[in-house]
Amino acid sequence: MPEHTSQDEHVTTGRRLRRSDGASGLCLLRWTCTLGLAALALGAQAQALRLVIQSEAWDAPPGGVAVPLASMSAVLAWQAVAALLAGGFTTCVLPASYRRRRGAFWHIALITFFLPGAGLSVVLGVLLIGYLFPPPSEVLVAGRVTPPGFISHLVARVRHGAGMRLRARLRNLHGERDDRVAALVSVQALPSRVTSEIARDLLADPVEEVRLLAYGILDGMEKRIMQQIYAMRDRRAAAQDEDERAHACRHLAQLYWELIYQNLVRGEVLRFTLERVEQFARDTLEQHEDDASMWYLLGRCALLRETPDVAEMYLRQAQFHSFPTERLLPWLAEAAFQKRRYDRVAQLLGGLGASAKGARGATTSPAMQPAVRFWTR
């Protein structure tokens, strides 16, 4: 038994040595062929350049352009051979993850073909640099990561991002109709500005129930504000003195601004509503010049009209009349942005972040935090 075991071990060892020798031979043959492709590519490129350089006779027809007597077809043929050989050589020496990409071969071949001499030099130079300066050994090889799965029964436990989850359910055109209708009904619990934006996006929805419900939501929101506007107009018409009239004008400016703020007006209606806000705000300021909220509304309207100088003047007036500075800084930064004063934008938003940190319990609004981080980092 020991003799047979020793004989089997010798046979196994011999097979392993033969396999190792065969693998080494194949590897050597492969590298020999690869270097042969490089040498042939250099030779073909040199032949193409030689035909161009050595052509000293020129044939210039009357009124034409001088053309070398050497056949351009031969030059292009040698250049094409050099390009194909260079593409094959580069494909062989690329890492295994790149060899599956067919675009690598044609990319190198086209560079070599359209840049005689220079293209092949660049390609070989890049390969030489990669060989002389290899990447660190601790760098991990990139791999494909399995995308995470969606666990539907865990959605009920999520309490944050309700608006985004409802928006995702409404945008899923392949979802069940009843689920989308229920999501649209739940949207009404969100702030009016968010609700109107979501409902307006659904006015062209292919599902009729969703489309009609979205229109009903927008129409209901607009009617509620318009009813208050009609009532305040009657109070303005029936005002007994200038103070009561200014008080009605102040509420009318705020109500018309609410239509703009909640995205309930677009196009020509938006421009008309802006005019009404500005008119009632100025009527209020004629009687109460220290009304900071009206200066603030005028500044917001000027920003919508893209007149940053006027907007900054109005906002500064609001600040002079004790309007909260932390509410003015973002709009002053908006005015500076429209004037392309980007250094001023960073300075104003930096002051907003500093004031939020300095005040006890004060924090920048979540909507403003990304903008503050972008301009102050």
Q: What is the mean pLDDT of the chain?
A: 77
On whether the CB atoms of residues 280 and 250 are closer than 8 A, the answer is yes
Q: Compute the average pLDDT of residues 344-371.
A: 67
Residue 98's alpha-carbon distances to 83, 91, 136, 238, 335, in angstroms, are 19, 8, 19, 81, 50
Q: Compute the average pLDDT of residues 217-243.
A: 90
Long-range contacts of 4-10 (CB under 8 A, 24+ apart): none
In terms of DSSP H, where are the helices of 262-339?
267-287, 292-304, 308-320, 325-338
Q: How confident is the model at residue 3 (pLDDT cuts 50, 70, 90)?
A: very low
Q: What is the pLDDT of residue 1?
A: 45
DSSP H/E element including 76:
helix 72-93
Q: Classify 61 as helix, strand or coil.
A: coil
Q: What is the pLDDT of residue 63?
A: 52
Q: What is the pLDDT of residue 255?
A: 93
Q: How confident is the model at residue 376 (pLDDT cuts 50, 70, 90)?
A: confident
The full length of the chain comes to: 377
Q: What is the pLDDT of residue 361?
A: 39
Predicted confidence (pLDDT) per residue in 243-266, tens digit: 899 999 999 999 999 999 988 888
Question: Among the listed ranges 5-14, 49-58, 98-107, which one has the minimum average pLDDT value?
Answer: 5-14
On whether the CB atoms of residues 314 and 331 are closer than 8 A, the answer is no
Predicted confidence (pLDDT) per residue in 57-77, tens digit: 444 455 544 545 456 777 778
Question: Among the listed ranges 103-117, 130-144, 225-239, which one has the minimum average pLDDT value?
Answer: 130-144
Q: What is the pLDDT of residue 190?
A: 72
Q: Provide DSSP, 218-232.
A: HHHHHHHHHHHHHHH
Residue 133's alpha-carbon distances to 127, 130, 159, in angstroms, are 10, 5, 51
Q: What is the pLDDT of residue 359?
A: 47
Task: Give the residue among 255, 264, 267 at the shortest CA–CA distance from 192.
Answer: 264
Question: Among the listed ranges 235-244, 256-265, 368-377, which one has the minimum average pLDDT value?
Answer: 368-377
Residue 81 has pLDDT above 60, yes or no: yes
Q: Which residues pair with 68 in a beta bridge?
A: 58
Predicted confidence (pLDDT) per residue in 150-200, tens digit: 665 555 555 555 666 677 777 777 777 777 778 777 777 777 777 787 788
Q: Classify 134 as helix, strand or coil.
A: coil
Alpha carbon distance 167, 225 (integer Å): 25
Alpha carbon distance 61, 193 (integer Å): 76
Residue 301 has pLDDT above 90, yes or no: yes
Residue 50 has pLDDT above 50, yes or no: yes
Q: Model's pTM, two decimal places?
A: 0.54
Q: Which residues pair with 58 in a beta bridge?
A: 68
Residue 47 has pLDDT above 90, yes or no: no
Q: Tokens representing 200?
A: 């307006």
